[in-house]
Chains A and B, each alone.
Chain A
Amino acid sequence: MSERFDLYRAEHEDIEPPVILLEDVSKDYVGGQHALKNVSLEIRKGEFVFIVGISGSGKSTLIKLLMKEISPTGGHIMVAGKDLSRLREYSVCKHRRNIGIVFQDFRLLKDRTVFENVAFAQRVLETPNYKIRRDVPRILSLVGLSEKLDSYPDELSGGEQQRVALARALVNNPVILLADEPTGNLDPRNSWEIMRLLEEINRRGTTVVVVTHNKEIVDAMQKRVITLNKGVVVSDQRGGYSRAKN
């Protein structure tokens, strides 16, 4: 797989190498359900990609595969230059450090302040305290929450909570930011704020992959859209949600 990756790089010297590369990836669950069928796609460094599709189209399976929570039943997956099928169990945690992830339900720790929630991501990677004190205010400033360091999640709006989740996902400088329905629980105004923030993060060099149902946002942002249906990539092109579906 890594040889193929090198070959790919040689053939595409002019463009950034893929940070995510799926080759003929299939995933069958016990009981015979085909979640993904021969999916091949590549996402290059610095890209902003939407992954869309109805429920059961294979989006969640794709995220689980990228996080190496499950393994494919066929094909190869490469993330940030590492072949996931060759990863040993003890190396999975190192692989996950390449990916920052945010969810629809934010998943913040309610008993900790905004600062502690973000610092938590660094503490669990055994980052020295001086770096935590330096990085956390910096990243909270990027997401516009410098004034909320000592607030608890319940004291924040949904949009602010999602921004804390983003800060937590970004504080360890991941190669890829994976956002699973990041605007699912937000009103339109907050949804747009989050999307603008994701664009800014992408502009600073992080590859952003957004899994969403939000047609309006996908249409408006005119980014690359990969559409999944019944575990198959049915469309992969630049443009809006509607255009991709047609």
Chain B
Amino acid sequence: MRKIRTFFYGISQGFKNIFRNRTFSLASIGTMAACLFLFGVFYTMLSNIEYMVKNAETNVGITIFFDEGITDEGIEAIRKEILTRAEVYKVEFTSAEEAWEEYKNTRLSPGLSESFGDDNPLEDCASFTVYLNDVRMQDSLVRFVSGLKGVRKCNDSSAVADTLSGFNKILTAVSVVVIAILLLVAAFLIGMTVSTGVSVRKQEISIMKLIGASNYFIKIPFVVEGILIGIIGAVIPIVVTRLAYVRITEMLERKFSTIFNVVKFLETGEVMKVLIPVCLATGVGIGFISSRITLRRQLKKIEVN
């Protein structure tokens, strides 16, 4: 009962502290919110790029062309060899006729395609398209396939995957540095807010100490203040990021429908599933730690008489 009373006392005093130090509280909340919003932006970008790379890994495959004059048995032998590899998701066969038909339909004007008559310029372009479970295994599979008997040429999509992976790495590094700096600023500002709160309530704390209040009781409103700033500073960017994500992905998918028919964004729920707990935990953690560190320093300075 006593603990519950103290808990509610801490919460009510924590809110009062925030209200008393409006300016510092707003600055802390603003910095924390900006920091976690940036984290949200970087996270959504990174997770979407990763998602797209993953999609590319499964959607963009290796194309394998065969030696001229290869028999159906030879092609079937190659398929069997490829299917023995664990990283292979599926193998699709495209005949020379199918390849020419697709090429005509997508690349040539009707007049030009008719001029070829019954000729098939892609007569030796029957191929396998191999889809992978993991794009990182592409290099080794290409080496394996290139060494198979009857394989003339092997085209891979490593250039695209490498570019996306490289971009992801740079973005991760930049975001880690920016977020770390902002988190430090937020922690410092929360410390300043708590420190101001302590000096505003110096007399009150001194009287508390005189009367015999426990350290825990004296500290709890300030720790609650730090945690509340962290929570408010986390909720704002969570809400803003969610709203912005829904709007921006809808707009991009509408405006660039050709690209986004192939490349899909992550579902909002998938992004928020990670973002909400991480932002809240960061806000609460930074608020708690910075207020504790500040209190340890500040409360010692307050003399009883």
Contacts and interface: CB of A to CB of B under 8 A. Distances in A.
Interface stretch (B1-9, B52-60, B244-252): B1-9
Interface stretch (B97-105, B185-193, B210-218, B256-264): B210-218
A69 interface: yes
A234 B213 CA distance: 36
Contacts, number: 58
The number of chain A residues touching the other chain, given as a range, is: 20 to 34
Interface string B139-170: 00000000000000000000000000000000
B71 interface: no
A10 interface: no
Given A63-B305, A69-B304, A93 B212 contact: yes
Contacts of A103: 305
B204 A109 contact: yes
11 contacts: A60-B305, A63-B305, A93-B209, A93-B214, A93-B215, A96-B209, A101-B210, A107-B207, A124-B208, A168-B211, A180-B305
B203 A96 contact: no
B2 to A, nearest CB: 5
B303 interface: yes
B212 A125 contact: yes
Contacts of A67: 210, 304-305
Contacts of B204: 109
Contacts of B206: 107
Given A94-B212, A107-B206, A124-B212, 10 more contacts: A67-B210, A67-B305, A69-B304, A90-B214, A90-B215, A93-B209, A97-B212, A107-B207, A121-B211, A126-B2
A64 interface: yes
A123 interface: yes
A172 interface: yes
Contacts of A107: 203, 206-207
A219 to B, nearest CB: 27
Interface of A: 60, 63-64, 67, 69, 90, 93-97, 101, 103, 107, 109, 120-121, 123-126, 128, 168, 172, 180
A69 B303 CA distance: 8
A131 B19 CA distance: 29
B304 to A, nearest CB: 5
A114 to B, nearest CB: 15
B5 A93 contact: no
Interface of B: 1-2, 5-6, 9, 203-204, 206-215, 217-218, 303-305
B203 A172 contact: no
Closest 9 CB pairs of A and B: A96-B212, A97-B212, A124-B213, A93-B212, A69-B304, A124-B208, A93-B214, A121-B211, A126-B2
Contacts of B5: 126, 128
A131 to B, nearest CB: 12
A125 B305 contact: no
Contacts of A97: 211-212
Contact of B210 (A96, A109, A128): A96
A130 to B, nearest CB: 12
Contact of B207 (A95, A120, A128, A180): A120
Which of B9, B210, B213 has the most C-beta atoms of chain A within 10 angstroms of its own C-beta?
B210
A94 B215 CA distance: 11
Contact of A109 (B2, B9, B207, B304): B207
A93 B213 contact: yes
Contacts of A128: 1, 5
B296 to A, nearest CB: 12
Nearest to A95: B212
Contacts of B305: 60, 63-64, 67, 69, 101, 103, 180
Nearest to A60: B305
Contacts of A93: 209, 212-215
Given A67-B304, A69-B303, A124-B217, A109 B212 contact: no
B214 A123 contact: no
Nearest to B1: A128
Contacts of A63: 305
A125 B208 CA distance: 9
Nearest to B210: A101
A93 B216 CA distance: 11
A97 B215 CA distance: 13
Contacts of B1: 128
A110 B209 CA distance: 18
A180 to B, nearest CB: 7
A102 B277 CA distance: 49
Nearest to A124: B213
A109 to B, nearest CB: 6
Contacts of A121: 211
A96 B214 CA distance: 10
A137 to B, nearest CB: 19
Contacts of A69: 303-305
Listed residue (B207, B209, B212, B215) with the most chain A CB atoms within 10 angstroms of its CB: B212
Contacts of A90: 214-215
